[in-house]
């Protein structure tokens, strides 16, 4: 009897698909609905996909349509989707004390998007422990505001749900119909949400490198500059890019929306600044909103496209093409223009293969976003290009923000968004590899180099 075996290129996309299907079945159960009746298949499939893919786009209100059981299913799916199905499965193997084969270690390495297999299990334990601690602290901070507003039971539940959702960059909440808009003047709620989003988006590698450097620096009384120098080049690049993008986004929304009465125009100065920062943070694949995305100016939408497309950083819960990918793709362009093959970042050389991979990811992701935008507009003629592009980039970058068109899409449009969310979570490149033959063809034939002209 033939024994079936799957490589990580095949198992990771299949595992997400399996989780979506299981989630769909659970959400179809009458017990998942607040009214106690079955939800239609497309709504259940859409919700399961947006949960597993930690996107946050919804066609029904999470707080009112689903029962506590249904909301728990959504939260668990988001947690699994944020950590990765392979990671969760590996966690159960650790609990049952099963030994990991070399193939399973390689699979876990690929699932976590790491470069080396050494210390992979120790890294897994630290990831799970760190995740639970951060989400617990987030829930406690949320409860300070949620319990007085919603009561003890619902307040505690909303605190736990929102903490998991924010850290996993899922963008769904069970507080009310207006997401974080009701808290747009609450510094504690918005700050807690932003910190959870940023921590999830920085990536676990940065977490552990930064905390280790800071703790050792405090013990040995290092200066902040020396602590910074002792960080890895990856951590320094991620922190630098994150700071630049957050600052650029905050200033852009602050100035472009300053007089827009439909967004932040009627807010006091400090509240305008707070909500501009929140918008800059949440667009990095989180999906919470403190004001209407539909009412933003066109120039703010363009900035939103850019921030959503880039997303968070590698080896974390965020989506998008990732900050480092965008930077290396841009570096590849500038190195070609300047005819410079050194490609140094913090005095470390970037390999040609890594820059080539970054350029391919950016190109394929951009092409996919344009293609699905055209398909969405073709199947839903009433949707403008501004709204369609916003919806597709939000879906493919697993952001979850919308200009209020998700629930108005027809069946074809919802299927397009579902596929976009799925591709965004596993990556268009991963799907291409899934169907491709990875073994190189043995071809010893030599060909004469052709003359082609570009540019």
Q: What pLDDT is recorded for position 373?
A: 96
Contacts of 209 (CB under 8 A, 6+ apart): 231, 232, 234, 235
Q: Mapping DSSP to helix (H, G, I), strand (E, B) and coil, where does residue 350 land? A: coil
The CA angle 5-86-319, to the nearest 5 degrees, is 120
Burial class (CB in 10 A: 0-12, 13-18, 19+), 243: exposed
Q: What pLDDT is recorded for position 436?
A: 52
Write out residues in the chain with pLDDT < 70, as ranges. 1-11, 84-120, 428-444, 451, 453-455
d(CA 315, CA 318): 8
CA-based torsion, 100, 103, 106, 107: positive or negative: negative
Q: What is the pLDDT of residues 6-58, one digit of tens each?
A: 555 566 777 788 889 999 999 999 999 999 899 999 999 999 999 998 888 88
Q: What pLDDT is recorded for position 133?
A: 92
The CA angle 396-238-205, to the nearest 5 degrees, is 90
Q: Mapping DSSP to helix (H, G, I), strand (E, B) and coil, where does residue 201 land? A: helix
């Amino acid at each position: 009897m033939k024994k079936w075996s799957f490589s990580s290129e095949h198992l990771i996309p299949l595992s997400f698909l399996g989780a979506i299907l299981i989630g769909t079945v659970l959400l179809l159960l009458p017990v998942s609905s607040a009214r106690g009746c079955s939800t239609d298949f497309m709504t259940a499939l859409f919700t399961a996909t947006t949960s597993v893919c930690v996107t946050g786009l919804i066609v029904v209100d999470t707080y009112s349509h689903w029962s506590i059981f249904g909301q728990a299913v959504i939260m668990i799916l988001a947690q699994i989707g944020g950590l990765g199905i392979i990671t969760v499965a590996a966690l159960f193997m650790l609990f049952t004390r099963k030994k990991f084969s070399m193939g399973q270690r390689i699979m876990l390495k690929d699932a976590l998007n790491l470069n080396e297999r050494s210390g992979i299990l120790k890294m897994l334990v630290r990831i799970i422990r760190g995740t639970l601690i951060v989400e617990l602290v987030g829930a406690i901070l949320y409860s300070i505001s949620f319990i007085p507003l919603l009561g003890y039971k619902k307040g505690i539940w909303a605190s736990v749900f929102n903490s998991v959702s924010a850290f996993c960059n899922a963008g769904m909440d069970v507080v009310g119909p207006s997401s974080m808009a009701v808290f747009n003047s609450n510094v504690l709620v918005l700050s807690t949400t932003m910190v959870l989003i940023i921590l999830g988006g920085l990536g676990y590698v940065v977490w552990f490198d930064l905390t280790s450097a800071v703790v050792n620096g405090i013990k040995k009384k290092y200066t902040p500059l020396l602590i910074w120098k002792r960080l890895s080049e990856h951590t320094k690049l991620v922190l630098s890019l994150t700071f630049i993008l957050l600052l650029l986004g905050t200033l852009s929304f602050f100035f472009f929306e300053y007089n827009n009465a439909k967004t932040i125009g009627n807010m006091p100065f400090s509240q305008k600044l707070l909500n501009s920062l929140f918008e800059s943070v949440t667009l990095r694949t989180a999906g919470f909103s403190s004001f209407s995305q539909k009412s933003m100016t066109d120039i703010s939408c363009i900035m939103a496209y850019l921030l959503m497309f880039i997303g968070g950083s590698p080896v974390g819960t965020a989506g998008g093409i990732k900050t480092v990918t965008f930077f290396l793709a841009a570096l590849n362009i500038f190195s070609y223009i300047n005819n410079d093959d050194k490609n140094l970042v913090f005095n470390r050389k970037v390999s040609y293969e890594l820059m080539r991979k970054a350029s391919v990811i950016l190109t394929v992701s951009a092409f996919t976003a344009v293609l699905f935008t055209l398909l969405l507009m073709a199947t839903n003629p009433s949707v403008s290009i501004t709204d369609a592009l916003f919806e597709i980039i939000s879906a493919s970058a697993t952001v979850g923000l919308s200009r209020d068109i998700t629930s108005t899409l027809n069946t074809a449009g919802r299927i397009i968004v579902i596929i976009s969310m799925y591709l965004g979570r596993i990556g268009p490149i991963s799907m291409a590899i899934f169907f491709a033959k990875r073994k190189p063809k043995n071809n010893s034939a030599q060909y004469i180099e052709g003359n082609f002209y570009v540019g």
